[in-house]
Amino acid sequence: MPILQESQAIPKNIVRIQAGIWGFVLAAFSGLMLFAMTAWLLIKGGQSVGEHLSLLGNYFPGYSVSWSGSFVGMFYGMLIGGIAGWAIGLIYNKVVDWRIRGK
């Protein structure tokens, strides 16, 4: 693999990602997924609706497999997803900075 000259290297700003945007996207995705999973179980119906998904109520106060619980779950999903996405973006950017400084 040829060694790149400094003028040929990828600029630091291109390699970095925006942690806030990454957090927003992951928040939206995880919140909508938890809402959709709860809604799907409610629409599907049956005798024991959401036995396993209802266990999230142990970690998310107020969550249950119900229509109101689906909105509570969406809030918690967005909160956890946003924090996780922001943390992933922050750690990724720290690693990029460390790798660029190491060269």
Angle 81-83-88 from CA coordinates, rounded to 5°: 90
Residue-wise pLDDT tens digits, 21-72: 999 999 999 999 999 999 999 998 878 888 888 899 999 999 999 999 999 9
The per-residue pLDDT for 26 is: 97
Task: Reply yes or no on whether the pLDDT at 6 is more than 60.
Answer: no
Residue ranges per structural domain of the chain:
19-43+53-98
DSSP characters over 18-69: -HHHHHHHHHHHHHHHHHHHHHHHHHH--SSTTTTGGGGGGTSTT--SSHHH
CB atoms within 10 A of CB 73: 28
pTM confidence score: 0.78
Residues 6+ apart with CB under 8 A from 50: 38, 41, 42, 65
In degrees rounded to 5, what are phi and psi of residue 99?
-70, -35
The per-residue pLDDT for 51 is: 87
